[in-house]
Chain A
């Protein structure tokens, strides 16, 4: 079972797309790859105020990730805590994972010719920090949640 998830408090989200750039800057991604996405529904007028609901999407860290099973070099694996991550040493940039993922989550870092995907900033999580999108969220709308089983 996944240990973590990223939760968006849509009441605080202002759709500023900061998370997308925080992520790109942290992972030093070139033009092209964007690992998380803020989106919103079409506006609907509620009690005279046009409103919308924001959504945050990165990787769902699937229980049985297609991206991992299709990888010819076993570069993608799922850790005990649920995080699905790419081992850059093993990755050959064949993009099979991008095709296998129903949402096209893994993307090609064209500078390195390696696949890249949201791994909850695993290097930060491992030293007790939060993913960069959560840490730097402009209005502190994103939260890094540890899931517990009841």
Chain B
């Protein structure tokens, strides 16, 4: 009997909607949800079938026997592993207080559950991976608009011009967004792409700026300069909703297109021609404020400038612009219930909320916990539970991280695969992979909000458990059952959906429930109350930043050029891998078994490096990795680029083991290099030495 299951993909954290056909507990068909994506799915999505059968993922709970990272594991039963973790947690709580626990996750729609566990245990220290991802963009949006980066959705399909700063959307795939962009381009829309190298996204561009690494902010400032000079901005919108516009006009005066052209290494006439296009396409011009912008020292300010450009366009809450996402309340419908527990009234160990008051207190800033581990101040951090999160892959300098984590008495990894961090942990609690597990219902906000759910398609192949059950079992043993009272996922769904009058069966037909038939738009003439800054207006000068002693309009500082023989190390994505998550997937491994080092042709010729030859890439402290060179004209000579996630060192992942090079391991000493204004890490601020490797043999000396 064939079974039809609507669910959510889990190969990356976009969670595209999928439809799965199952026969005899085997996936026989997997596609993008036909109602939402018309069947479209990416390579990673289809490779989910290989993950089900992958025997190189943890198959039962593991408890460490040898030293940390030595790879000597004792196979344990679930009850043994739960007891082990909770006994340790109780001991740590008794000795150091409940606040010494940190729970970290990737974020996402179910983080309420992990946060509830953390808070119920008595710790305020829930965090997620975002300080290595979208925190700068998020805080930039908060400072300008009073809402976070998810406070807008981009109506790309109806826009006339999309401007992307390093947002490589055709490699970092979100299928619904990709289809929208393609439709927009096919209708004759424009795409302007800015990056240090050419990418799959840049190929589709109508205009391309290859900029010097770290000069995005300069280019955005010149755009603002020219738009202000030509008075192209939406004056009515600005008068009604924006404060301190005059200060922006004064600040921007010196940042002319001629200056930016020189600074960024682009042509002045291209900047002017771009502004001509913007004038034609206004207001349906979307300046994408960035996604993963934990890159340069001024990425936060570049993102602020991009937000300001959107404000100048007056594209907020219009068709083809930035639309505020709507929830159940906007549809006149009750929302669903979610796991919740108030945050304990204790200072966060990362300093967010008391030492750093201008940051979002929700997940805080993960990298700031290392200081607490090392110094014991403001109090010791002694236990870390990483839920589907791999700090050693996500963050720079794993060696430095290990020294900090060694101060912890308990490290736990809950994950579907062996993460690099998991390999160093004391306990691995293997989560069932996404086709083998149910998840609670979640709200997907947008112009047409809906409820969606992940449903189990097949029974787990190994002795793994779904995330909700792992947290419930831990909670039970810690006497926190009040916060996790449900013993089955059906109970959870019924409890969540009760206020809505829906049942889980209502998701059977399409995998989601739409809360409205029509797109909901707010009245653009009365957006009061929707802009959540302290003044209720869009703030060019953010009072929060001013209070924190930070500038809102920061004068541009030119990034340093790398010393001779060195290059700025830049990393990114490919369309066939999700960072370190998928490198060992046999289908994706076959397509891309290792990464390469992109290097400019002119520079490579000086180093006597030819396409495909091995190069040594050397970090500041002499740490060296080897990788094959990809010699190309289409990367800026100041930088080298590689795809992130490779160079893994988990021996049980036989395919991924030591395949390619790991950029984060070369970022020596970069753990403390972060942006005090934006909160993000500065992951593209390290320089590496590149030379032709001695591993390229001169001649063959054996038979």
Contact = CB atoms under 8 A, between A and B. Distances in A.
Main secondary structure of the interface of A (DSSP, over half): loop
Contacts of B590: 31-32, 34
Interface string B153-180: 0000000000000000011010100110
B208 A48 contact: yes
Given A15-B170, A48-B270, 15 more contacts: A12-B182, A14-B170, A14-B203, A16-B43, A16-B171, A17-B43, A18-B45, A21-B46, A24-B587, A25-B49, A26-B29, A26-B46, A32-B590, A43-B198, A138-B43
A32 B171 CA distance: 24
Given A14-B178, A31-B586, A31-B590, A135 B42 contact: no
B30 interface: yes
A74 interface: no
B576 interface: yes
Given A17-B576, A43-B634, A140 B202 contact: no
A52 interface: yes
B203 A136 contact: no
Given A16-B575, A140-B40, A21 B186 contact: no
A135 B41 CA distance: 9
Q: Most chain-A CB neighbours within 10 Å: which of B42, B175, B208?
A: B42
Interface stretch (B31-39, B436-444, B538-546, B683-691): B31-39
A137 interface: yes
A22 B46 contact: yes
B591 interface: yes
Nearest to A49: B208
Interface of A: 11-12, 14-18, 20-22, 24-26, 31-32, 34, 43, 48-52, 135-141
Nearest to A137: B40
A49 B191 CA distance: 11
Contacts of A34: 590
B286 to A, nearest CB: 19
A138 B576 contact: no
21 contacts: A11-B186, A14-B170, A14-B201, A14-B203, A14-B575, A16-B576, A17-B576, A20-B43, A21-B47, A24-B587, A25-B30, A25-B50, A25-B587, A43-B203, A50-B208, A50-B634, A51-B203, A138-B40, A138-B575, A139-B182, A140-B40
B179 A140 contact: yes
A137 B633 CA distance: 30
A49 B633 CA distance: 12
Contacts of B43: 16-18, 20-22, 138
Nearest to B655: A31
A138 B207 contact: no
A129 to B, nearest CB: 10
B200 interface: yes
Nearest to B205: A49
Contacts of A50: 198, 202-203, 208, 633-634
